[in-house]
Amino acid sequence: MHLETERLLMPPLSGEHTGALAEVYADRDVARYIGGATLDPEGTAAQVARFEVVRREHGFGQSALLDRNTGAFLGRAGLHPWPQWGEVELGYVLARDAQGRGLAAEAARAWLDVAFGELGLRRLTAVIHPANTPSRALAGRLGFRVHREEVTPAGVRVLVHERHAS
Ligand SMILES: CC(C)(COP(=O)(O)OP(=O)(O)OC[C@H]1O[C@@H](n2cnc3c(N)ncnc32)[C@H](O)[C@@H]1OP(=O)(O)O)[C@@H](O)C(=O)NCCC(=O)NCCS
């Protein structure tokens, strides 16, 4: 699925993006609430491989976020299943330099349209560490509300936000 927005090209995230994504994760402020130490180059490659399996099995997954003008890699956004909870999450990560421009919201809205449109999903979640203020603010702007607390398989307490199709 090749999505596009006004400022972004959003091709499927794949192995060719692993190095650029690992550089984004190398910024501690970016990786703090999304797996931090596990996202070294090897961990990033394993994560990208998992995302590709999800795409093959579910027909949705993560997009690379590329600057439409320069082609620069800015981050990732997309859908990811949490089978243990029977839910699909909308997630987003931006390189620090790309934050504060509304780009994560732009990418997330493109995925919301796909999820509630052609994929026919009725509900999405956003799984967010309670202290991740920028992510919670973005989720709120996108119409997500806190649904419940959970502990992830990695033992991290998170707030599961939800949004229904309108
Ligand atoms: C979560 C994250 C993606 C949010 O990024 P973001 O850039 O703040 O989010 P948005 O795309 O909604 O941009 C909003 C900001 O852009 C500003 N902005 C500038 N131009 C804008 C425009 N044209 N449209 C909308 N907002 C714009 C807004 O004022 C806002 O800034 P503020 O927070 O200083 O008020 C980012 O903090 C991140 O990557 N964090 C690390 C990874 C992570 O934790 N991901 C979430 C896991 S749950």
Domain CATH for 145? 3.40.630.30
In the predicted model, is pLDDT for residue 36 greater than 90? no
Name the residue at shortest CA distance from atom 13 of ligand 1. Answer: 102
Measured CA to CA in angstroms, residue 115 lies from 5, 122, 125 at distances of 15, 8, 11
pLDDT tens readout for residues 106-158: 999 999 999 999 999 999 999 999 999 999 999 999 999 999 999 998 899 99
CA atoms of 28 and 119, how far apart (whole Å):
34
pLDDT tens readout for residues 65-88: 999 999 999 999 999 999 999 999
For the record, the structure tokens of 131 come out as: 């202290």
Q: Is 44 exposed, middle or buried (0-12, 13-18, 19+ CB in 10 A)?
A: buried
62 lines ligand 1 (CB under 6 A): no
Ligand 1 pocket mutation pick from 44, 135, 141, 159 by most atoms within 8 angstroms of CB: 135
Domain residue limits at 158 = 3-164
Indicate the number of domains in the chain: 1
Whole-number Å distance, alpha carbon 8 to ligand 1 midpoint, is 15
Whole-number Å distance, alpha carbon 103 to ligand 1 midpoint, is 7
34 lines ligand 1 (CB under 6 A): yes
Q: What is the pLDDT of residue 138?
A: 98
Name the residue at shortest CA distance from atom 8 of ligand 1. Answer: 100
CA atoms of 119 and 112, how far apart (whole Å):
10
pTM above 0.85, yes or no: yes
Whole-number Å distance, alpha carbon 57 to ligand 1 midpoint, is 30
With vertex at residue 11, the alpha carbon angle to CA 7 and CA 14, rounded to the nearest 5 degrees, is 135
Mean pLDDT of the chain, nearest integer: 96
CB neighbour list of residue 88: distance below 8 Å, 6 or more residues apart: 60, 79, 80, 81, 82, 115, 121, 123, 124, 125
Average pLDDT of the segment spanning 51-74: 97
Name the residue at shortest CA distance from atom 10 of ligand 1. Answer: 102
